[in-house]
Amino acid sequence: MVDIINLATVSMELIAALPAATERFKVAATQIRTAYARRAPAASDQVTPTQLIDALEQFLSVASNLDREEGETGPILMDDVNQLGDYGLNLLADLAAWAQQLGLKDAYFEIGMTTLTIADWTIRHHGRIRSPEPVVNALADTANRTTEAGELERMARFMGEVIHACDSFIQQDMEKTNPGRPWRLLHLNRGIVATRSHNPALMTQVFDELVRALPEEAPGFFEQGMQQMEALDYPAPVRAVMERYRSAWSRPVLH
């Protein structure tokens, strides 16, 4: 996972509606099919991009049908939506790996956008996210391309929805020794996105949730945040929030 401060960015829609995401996915799928066919790989036991695309097209069709039949929000059957969401996210993660391997940056980005749409679909239907890693990767990639304050605010809020939708075993954060775990990166990246939004109220909300979820990470996060404040000349209200949390979390503990 990459740090998402200080990268060149462009403006974009954060969460595409499922029909629009499906159409964009089809374009990316065509690019991947074409690039894979040109390689003419030898036969192997590895799941091919074509197999993944076929499975994803069926998945997207099922998800769209459920929206039409059951409505775009509200529960379906909890086990069904959990399993479906997990299935779709894992297929997308495998296809994203192929896009990277084939050097298709645009297709990789579109798969990431589809991943966010499927995460949103799962959340809309009261499901639990069991495989957060592809969602975290897609959010980081999107944040790298986003500068507009309103979009950053919406992203931070959606990241909060993802956090609350993560399955309970993920929220228990049992792998604290693994710095690359999605739960950790999701909270830290959300803190960075909130900071980049220049919204002090949003920063306060996000920082409070960060310190509850990752108290051991708080001192380092706020210390690095202050270094960014000084390097990038953030507005005074933003600096004040970061300084307040840095001061609160850098004090020595009395015994």
Residues 143 and 153 in one domain: no
What is the residue-wise DSSP string for the chain? Answer: ----SS-------SS--HHHHHHHHHHHHHHHHHHHHHH-PPP-SSPPHHHHHHHHHHHHHHHHHHHHHH-SSS-S-HHHHHHHHHHHHHHHHHHHHHHHHTT-HHHHHHHHHHHHHHHHHHHHTT--BS--HHHHHHHHHHHTT---HHHHHHHHHHHHHHHHHB-HHHHTT--TT-TT-HHHHHHHHHHHHHHHTT-HHHHHHHHHHHHHH-TTTHHHHHHHHHHHHHHHT--HHHHHHHHHHHHHHHSPPP-
Domain finish residue from 147, 179, 197: 147
Strand partners, 166: 129
Residues 218 and 109 in one domain: no
pLDDT value of position 1 = 40
Domain finish residue from 147, 169, 194: 147
Residues 190 and 208 in one domain: yes
Whether 128 and 166 have beta carbons less than 8 Å apart is answered as yes
Work out the average pLDDT over 176-193. 95
Whether 182 and 170 have beta carbons less than 8 Å apart is answered as yes
Structure tokens at 101: 């391997």
Work out the average pLDDT over 184-211. 97
Residues 137 and 180 in one domain: no
Q: What is the rounded CA–CA span in Å between residue 218 and residue 207?
A: 9
Residues 131 and 160 in one domain: no
pLDDT value of position 43 = 61
Structure tokens at 67: 């929206």
Tell me the residue range of the domain where 160 lies: 149-255
Residues 71 and 142 in one domain: yes
Residues 112 and 156 in one domain: no
20-52 confidence digits (pLDDT tens): 999 999 999 999 999 999 886 666 678 999 999
Residues 55 and 92 in one domain: yes
Binning pLDDT at 50, 70 and 90, where does residue 12 land? very low
Residues 14 and 134 in one domain: yes
Query: Residue 114: pLDDT above 50?
Result: yes
Least confident of 13-17, 149-153, 220-224: 13-17
Domain finish residue from 121, 147, 173: 147
pLDDT value of position 143 = 92
Query: Residue 65: pLDDT above 60?
Result: yes
Work out the average pLDDT over 115-141. 96
pLDDT value of position 44 = 65
pLDDT value of position 42 = 63
Residues 173 and 136 in one domain: no
Neighbour-count burial of 249, counting CB atoms closer than 10 A to its CB (0-12 exposed, 13-18 middle, 19+ buried): middle
Residues 36 and 136 in one domain: yes
Query: Residue 155: pLDDT above 90?
Result: yes
Query: Residue 120: pLDDT above 90?
Result: yes
Whether 186 and 132 have beta carbons less than 8 Å apart is answered as yes
Our count of domains for the chain comes to 2
What is the residue-wise DSSP string for 108-144? Answer: HHHHHHHHHHHHHHHHHTT--BS--HHHHHHHHHHHT
Least confident of 129-133, 136-140, 150-154, 247-251: 247-251
Residues 170 and 138 in one domain: no
